[in-house]
Amino acid sequence: MNNKPIGVFDSGIGGLTVARAIKKLLPNESLIYFGDTAHLPYGDKSEAAIQAYSIKITDVLLEKNCKAIVVACNSASASAYNLLQEYAGKRVEIVNVIDPMIEFVNKHFRRQTVGVIGTKRTVESNIYSKKLKVLNNGIICKSLATPLLVPMIEEGFFNQRISHDIIDNYLSSQGLADIKALILGCTHYPLIKEEVTNFLEHKVEALDSSEITANFLGQKLAAKGLLASEKVENDEFMVSDFTQSFESSTKLFFGELIHLTLYKLWE
């Protein structure tokens, strides 16, 4: 059972940041990645739509005999995680990208003000603020929707003048005044972490969920005796629609051209 794969899914390339972090931390593990490129971005979709996509993808990953499923998308984590736990939580370990971040912030930023940037869906859910408030730790959470960032990143516009201007415009918002840390509340955003950090002049810590989630997953699998006992080399990458940006991004992340398998969710 230990050598079964870990499933990871997102609407597009953002979840590759989480997949890369998992491979770095847990090199023995094999991954099955599902990029729902036919429906990206999730951030402007309804909760019902995101739930439907997430259930369908979970079924695909269950068919692949995954021992764990990582919801590598903040929008899906906010909208569908509880439903996925009810649907499949007794059959497979399910990890989202929000709870590990909440645990990290609660440990390191008590009684301080933190900011969150993310998609409209994530910010409108107010999930970070709600979860931090329940912990009664004195943390004030300020949120800002940054809807242009995901399509900008998906189209490859980062570390360029256009991305600098968009990032500067968003992060100049008074809604993020006086924060001590900024949660990058979308798995796409680690790709612009350097630009964000430069804008913040290294005075505010930018927190991305990829490494935090990978560590959380590793601890969870270890506690349940589910870590791979030997190295397995059979990673698989599936997409619901072929896109040039996704193919290019897999090579950027993993250092080689990755074979993509087309899996149309509703055909």
Phi-psi region of 231 (alpha: psi -120 to 50; beta: other; left: phi over 0): beta
Q: Which of 57, 69, 54, 89 is nearest to 22 (CA)?
A: 69
Sheet holding 260-262, edge to edge: 93-96, 68-71, 6-10, 31-35, 236-239, 260-262
Given the residues 72, 116, 149, 186, select the one marked as catalytic.
Answer: 186
141 an active-site residue? no
Tokens of 142: 């300020």
The residue from 69, 73, 114, 217 that is catalytic is 73
Eight-class DSSP state of 5: P
Nearest one of 123, 128, 174, 168 to 145, comparing CA atoms:
123
Q: How far is CA 122 from CA 4, 74, 81, 240, in A?
A: 31, 6, 12, 22
- Strands (DSSP E) along 36-158, which ranges? 68-71, 93-96, 113-118, 140-145
> Which tokens hold the place of 156?
């490859």
What are the angstrom distances between the C-alpha of 169 and each of 28, 55, 166? 42, 36, 5
- Is residue 186 among the annotated active site residues? yes
Strand partners, 238: 34, 261
Q: Which residues have CB under 8 Å from 142's CB, separation 6+?
A: 113, 114, 115, 116, 175, 176, 177, 179
Active site residues: 73, 186
